[in-house]
């Protein structure tokens, strides 16, 4: 029995972007529901560690303009500059707002919010690293998530926890609501809504080594992709240089911000060669490629020489214990390494999707090169592409992105919902999801989903990771076709309605396959190297041909169509990216 609900605004996802949007929507006076497949405090915002940048200038002189420059340069000039400017100017207020809501930032001796260095954040357009990241030990994301959730509890926000949104409802090209699957009961729920905001996070789980939670499967982007909406800049995925060896668990860039260094098998601080000015605090794409190069040239460490060391042994004990307690514990628990005495083996880990659902700076989902807004449809955070991160996101700018654009999106949707009429629902609004679920449950036998997922992750890691080529990407496309065929005959053993987590994992695998199709198609087409997208057969950036955003579409016949739109430029003219 499908259950029907009506709200002015529905927010899908309860991480930082979703919760910040919910606060804004509620405060904007519209009836609001937050639908999340997890309890909100389980969201992956809570795993962010190092900080949130804002040019407060509490410790060193700084300016939002320097922050914006770093963001544009860090993004290898694929950043839409007006959006980056908006974000960096809004950063200061965003940090103060969180502080007023109780966020327990670390403090200076004078009682101000303390700040630390982070990769790619510099003084005066690249002169030297600057202390810009506001932080709470190395659990800044946890504190932001908790603070935003607390504010939602205070406002009595209506949550639908452990509900999976599986379809977007559209009528005459405008948003009409969503359809969700309730994990506890297996029932379908139709949420009629004037406005819907997606804040479902990333899709790093398509790669074998990832810092992402198991649940980061690209649900929001895939739901819209299946409805014919485009995904932007999907080829740009960030590989964070310092994941726990083999497991991919994030070891924050704050480790290097506090003075940690990367060393190879010869004990050499190799980043001095790749980025003479900022060294270990170069942006993540630069550092990950440097690690790849060191390993390729035989200077890797570990049993298979496929890692490098992150070394903090020279740091004062209190810095390690007080400013980096969590990452220190990760090394102890998961590697059996004592960081105060031993270097920690690390390798690049799939971390962050720069691409996603195309939006404008108000969070409105936009279509095509003309950027036509879809009435009532919004996205914010990692699942969205504003684009403030361009081809490579700077560390800390994701926490900033979610609070700034969560707020903008939530505010705009509240305004829209106040004026809009309640939408009509399409006929049989739950038909698509109902067919999907009964199709998956109806097979007496079939392929094992875990095997498909494991091959997807392993092959994406081998063929579409830090270094790519036409050959590797074509091979991956072929593999994806085969995986898709098997997925179409996948078997779900659990036929129940109560907490059928197997069924939802299989649905999530389908979302991952869609995102991988999009990523690989866009990566194959882009014959240049820029930010997180490195093609060894086209190793240079090519502004003449490729200073543009990609859009991928799923066509009726299942193929992928590509389209491009210009980057919104501004003050900063593309120049060679040196650190």
Partner 1 sequence: MESDNLGDVLETSELRRAGASGNVVLTLRIRRYNPELRGEESWWDEFAIEIDPDDRLLDALHQVKWYHDGTLALRRSCAHGVCGSDAMMINGRNALACKVIVKDVAPKVTVEPIRGLPVLKDLIVDMEPFFQGYEAVLPYLINDEGEPGRERLQSPEERARFDDTTKCILCAACTTSCPIFWGDEEYVGPAAIVNAHRFIYDSRDRGARERLQILSERTGVFRCRTTFNCTEACPRGIEVTKAIQDVKRTILFERF
User: In the set 10, 38, 222, 312, which binds partner 1 (CB under 8 A)?
Assistant: 38
Picking from 188, 230, 213, 208, the residue whose alpha carbon sits closest to that of residue 15 is: 213
Is 256 among the residues known to form the active site?
Answer: no
How would DSSP label each residue in 37-63? Answer: SS-GGGSGGGG--S-EE----SSS---
- 235 near partner 1, judged by CB under 8 A: no
Neighbours of 199 (CB within 10 A): 34
Which among 112, 119, 148, 111 has a CA at the least distance from the CA of 51? 119
Nearest 10 degrees: Cα torsion 387, 564, 521, 508:
40
Task: Give the interface segment with partner 1, choosing from 76-84, 309-317, 355-363, 417-425 (CB under 8 A).
Answer: 309-317
DSSP code of residue 335:
I
Residues 276-295 that bind partner 1 (CB under 8 A): none
Q: How many CB atoms lie within 10 A of CB 500?
A: 22
Binding to partner 1 by CB under 8 A, coded x per residue (else -) over 490-509, reads --xxx-xxxxxxx-------
Distance between CA 347 and CA 211 in Å, rounded?
Answer: 11
Mapping DSSP to helix (H, G, I), strand (E, B) and coil, where does residue 242 land? strand
Residue closest to 563 by CA, chosen among 533, 531, 518, 529: 518
Among 3, 61, 128, 333, binds partner 1 (CB under 8 A): 333
Q: Which is nearer to partner 1, 108 or 428 (CB)?
A: 108
Tell me which residues in 473-492 interact with partner 1 (CB under 8 A). Answer: 492
215 interacts with partner 1 by CB under 8 A: yes
For partner 1, which is the closer residue by CB, 101 or 572?
101
d(CA 378, CA 199): 9
CB-wise, 148 or 377, nearer to partner 1? 148
What is the rounded CA–CA span in Å between residue 75 and residue 80?
10
Is residue 213 involved in binding partner 1 (CB under 8 A)?
yes
In the set 116, 205, 284, 554, the catalytic residue is 284
Q: Does 1 bind partner 1 (CB under 8 A)?
A: no
The tokens for 338 are: 């004592």
Q: Does residue number 99 form part of the binding site for partner 1 (CB under 8 A)?
A: yes
Subset of 110-169 contacting partner 1 (CB under 8 A): 110-113, 136-137, 139, 142-143, 146, 150-151, 153-154
Q: Judged by CB under 8 A, which stretch of 228-236, 335-343, 404-412, 476-484 contacts partner 1?
A: 335-343
Give phi and psi for 297, each to the nearest 5. Answer: -90, 10
Question: Do residues 197 and 206 make contact, with C-beta atoms less than 8 angstroms apart?
Answer: no
Residues in region 39-98 near partner 1 by CB under 8 A: 39, 41-44, 46-47, 95-96
Smaller CB separation from partner 1, 343 or 531: 343
Using CB under 8 A, pick the residue from 1, 172, 336, 545 that binds partner 1. Answer: 336
Least distance from partner 1 to the Cβ atom of residue 250, Å:
8
486: left (phi over 0), alpha (psi -120 to 50) or beta: alpha
- Residue 267 engages partner 1 in binding (rule: CB under 8 A): yes
Strand bridging mode 308-311 / 344-353: antiparallel
The CB-of-252 to partner 1 minimum distance in angstroms stands at: 12
- Please identify which residue in 127, 266, 488, 537 interacts with partner 1, judged by CB under 8 A: 266
Residues paired with 535 in a beta bridge: 468, 538
Strand partners, 197: 11, 378
Contact pick of 335, 404, 523, 560 for partner 1 (by CB under 8 A): 335
Facing residues of 263 across strands?
309
- Indicate whether 324 belongs to the interface with partner 1 (CB under 8 A): no
User: According to the binding rule CB under 8 A, does residue 448 interact with partner 1?
Assistant: yes
Q: How far is the CB of 311 from partner 1 (least distance, A)?
A: 7
Q: Which of 11, 301, 463, 480 touches partner 1 (CB under 8 A)?
A: 301
Are 45 and 398 spatial neighbours (Cβ–Cβ below 8 Å)?
no
340 in contact with partner 1 (CB under 8 A): no
317 in contact with partner 1 (CB under 8 A): no
Least spacing, CB of residue 453 vs partner 1, in Å: 8
Tokens 């086209």 belong to 538
Closest CB 509 distance from partner 1, rounded Å:
11
CB 408 within 8 A of CB 361: yes
Q: Which of 126, 259, 302, 369 binds partner 1 (CB under 8 A)?
A: 302
Q: Which of residues 529-568 bind partner 1 (CB under 8 A)?
A: none
Residue found under tokens 């922050």: 67
Residue 358 near partner 1 by CB under 8 A: no
Half-sphere exposure of residue 261, counting CA atoms within 13 Å on the CB side?
14
What are 12's strand-pairing partners?
Answer: 35, 198
Q: Which of residues 397-436 bind partner 1 (CB under 8 A)?
A: none
Nearer to partner 1, 432 or 499 (CB): 499
> Quick one: tokens of 481?
């076709």
Q: Does 439 bind partner 1 (CB under 8 A)?
A: no
* d(C-alpha 160, C-alpha 148), whole Å: 17
By the rule CB under 8 A, 330 interacts with partner 1: yes
Give the residue numbers annotated as catalytic, written as ranges.
284
């Amino acid at each position: 029995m499908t259950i029907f609900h009506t709200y002015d605004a529905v927010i899908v996802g309860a991480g930082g972007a979703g919760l910040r949007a919910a606060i804004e929507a509620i405060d904007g006076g519209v009836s609001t529901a937050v639908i999340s497949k997890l309890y909100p405090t389980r969201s992956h915002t809570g795993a962010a560690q190092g900080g949130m940048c804002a040019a407060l200038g509490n410790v060193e002189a700084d300016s939002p303009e320097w922050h914006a420059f770093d963001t544009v340069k860090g993004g290898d000039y694929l950043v839409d500059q007006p959006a980056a400017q908006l974000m960096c100017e809004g950063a200061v207020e965003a940090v103060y707002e969180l502080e007023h809501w109780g966020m327990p930032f670390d403090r200076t001796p004078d009682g101000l919010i303390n700040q630390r260095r982070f990769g790619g954040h510099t003084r005066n357009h690249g002169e030297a690293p600057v202390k810009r990241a506001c932080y709470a030990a190395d659990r800044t994301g946890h504190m932001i998530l908790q603070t935003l959730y607390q504010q939602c509890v205070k406002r009595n926000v209506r949550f639908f926890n452990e509900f999976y949104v599986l379809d977007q409802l559209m009528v005459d090209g405008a948003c009409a609501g969503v359809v969700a699957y309730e994990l506890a009961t297996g029932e379908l729920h139709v949420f009629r809504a004037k406005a819907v905001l997606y804040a479902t996070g990333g899709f790093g789980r398509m790669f074998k080594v990832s810092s992402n939670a198991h649940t980061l499967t690209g649900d929001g982007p895939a739901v819209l992709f299946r409805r014919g909406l485009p995904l932007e800049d999907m080829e740009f995925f960030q590989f964070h240089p310092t994941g726990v060896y083999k497991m991919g668990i994030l070891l924050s860039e704050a480790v290097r911000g506090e003075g940690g260094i990367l060393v190879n098998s010869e004990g050499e601080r190799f980043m001095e060669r790749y980025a003479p000015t900022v060294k270990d605090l170069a942006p993540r794409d630069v550092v990950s490629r440097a690690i790849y190069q060191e390993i390729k040239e035989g200077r890797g460490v570990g049993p298979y020489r496929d890692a490098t060391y992150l070394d903090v042994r020279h740091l004062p004990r209190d810095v390690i214990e007080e400013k980096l307690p969590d990452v220190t514990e990760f090394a102890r628990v998961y590697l059996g390494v004592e960081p105060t005495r031993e270097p920690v083996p690390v390798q690049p880990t799939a971390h962050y999707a720069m691409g996603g659902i195309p939006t404008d700076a108000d969070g409105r989902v936009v279509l095509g090169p003309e950027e036509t807004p879809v009435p009532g449809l919004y996205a914010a955070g990692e699942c969205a592409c504003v684009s403030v991160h361009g081809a490579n996101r700077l560390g800390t700018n994701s926490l900033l992105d979610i609070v700034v654009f969560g707020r903008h999106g939530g505010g705009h949707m509240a305004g829209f919902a106040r004026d809009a009429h309640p939408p009509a629902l399409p006929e049989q609004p739950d038909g698509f999801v109902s067919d999907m679920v009964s199709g998956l449950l109806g097979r007496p036998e079939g392929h094992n989903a875990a095997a498909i997922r494991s091959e997807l992750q392993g092959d994406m890691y081998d063929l579409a990771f830090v270094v790519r080529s036409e050959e590797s990407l074509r091979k991956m496309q072929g593999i994806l076709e085969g995986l898709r065929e098997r997925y179409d005959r996948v078997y779900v053993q659990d036929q129940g309605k109560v907490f059928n987590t197997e069924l939802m994992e299989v649905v999530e695998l389908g979302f991952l396959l869609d995102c991988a199709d999009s990523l690989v198609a866009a990566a194959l087409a882009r014959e240049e190297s820029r930010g997180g997208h490195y093609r060894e057969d086209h190793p240079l950036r090519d502004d003449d041909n490729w200073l543009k955003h990609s859009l991928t579409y799923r066509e009726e016949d299942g193929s992928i169509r590509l389209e491009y739109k210009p980057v919104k430029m501004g003050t900063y003219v593309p120049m060679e990216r040196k650190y």
